[in-house]
Amino acid sequence: MDKFTVLTGVAAPLPIRNVDTDMIIPKQFLKTIKRTGLGKSLFYEMRYDPATGKEIEDFVLNKPQYRKATILVAGDNFGCGSSREHAPWALLDFGIRCVIATDFADIFYNNCFQNGILPIKLPQADVDKLMDDANRGANATITVDLENQEIRGPDGGVIKFDIDPFRKHCLLNGLDNIGLTLEKGSTISSFEKTTASSRPWL
C-alpha cells in the first residue's frame, strides 16, 4: 500500500454522528473483491437522488470545492455498523487518505490502517476547530504530518495527535500485514530450508 508521510489537501466537513459502514458504502456494492472503482459509490444514498440517479447538489462531496478532498472531518463514532472492509476501500478510491473524528468504531479503525488511511482521534474542541477550517472549502487547506504527529491549519495553528507507534511505523513505510510478513522473507526462507533438510518427510 502507499506510504503515508505528509498530506496537504482540502478537508471536507461531515458533521454527522454515527455514520455507519452502510452509509459509507451500501450493501449492493459489496459484490466486488476489487479495491478500486468504489469511490463513485461512496456515500451513495447521500450523494445521489434515488429517483433520478443524479447528484444531490448540497451534499458536501458533490460541491465543487470538495470534489478533490483528501481529508474528512467527521462526527463521533464514525465507521460503526458492519465490519465491511469495502468502507475504507471506497474512501481511498475517492481520494480520502485521512479521517478525523472524536472516535471510530474499532473494526473500521483497524481496517483504515490496513488500507493506508490515517484515522485520527481528537478531543471535540479540536475537531470543532478543524470542522470550522473545513467549512472554508478549497480556500483553506490542512496539512497532516504523521512523522511529527501534528495537524497544521490554514491560519498556522497546530494540533498534536496520538497514534500507536507500531501503526505509525506501518503507515510511514506502507506496510500492511502482507508487507510486514514479506519483511521477514529471509528468515522465512531460512526456516523452510532448515525444516526441509531436518524433516524431509514433511
Confidence band, pLDDT 50/70/90 cuts, at residue 190: low
Lowest mean pLDDT among 25-39, 72-86, 90-104: 25-39
Q: Distance of CA 48 to CAs 13, 51, 59, 113, 177, Å?
A: 18, 9, 9, 28, 35
**Count of domains observed in the chain:** 1
Note whether 193 and 200 are within 8 A (CB): no
Mean pLDDT of 151-157: 93
Note whether 143 and 156 are within 8 A (CB): no
Decide if 194 is inside a domain: no
Of all residues in the chain, what percent carry a pLDDT higher than 70? 90
Paired sense of beta strands 118-121 and 6-14, if any:
unpaired
Q: Considering the chain, what is the average pLDDT of its residues?
A: 92
* pLDDT digit string, tens, across residues 81-128: 998 999 999 999 999 999 999 999 999 999 999 999 999 999 999 999
Which structural domain, as residue segments, surrounds residue 171?
Answer: 6-175
Grid coordinates standing for 81?
A: 455498523
Decide if 71 is inside a domain: yes
Please tell me which residue, 9 or 199, carries the higher pLDDT value. 9
Confidence band, pLDDT 50/70/90 cuts, at residue 48: very high
Decide if 198 is inside a domain: no
* pLDDT digit string, tens, across residues 158-188: 999 999 999 999 999 999 766 665 565 667 6
Mean pLDDT of 124-150: 95
Mean pLDDT of 32-47: 92
Taking the C-alpha atoms of residue 65 and residue 68, their distance in angstroms, rounded to an integer, is 7
Decide if 186 is inside a domain: no
Domain at 78, CATH number: 3.20.19.10
Decide if 103 is inside a domain: yes
Q: Which pLDDT value is given to residue 81? A: 94
Handedness of CA 173, 177, 179, 180 (dihedral sign): positive
Q: Which pLDDT value is given to residue 198? A: 78
Decide if 146 is inside a domain: yes
Decide if 99 is inside a domain: yes
Decide if 192 is inside a domain: no
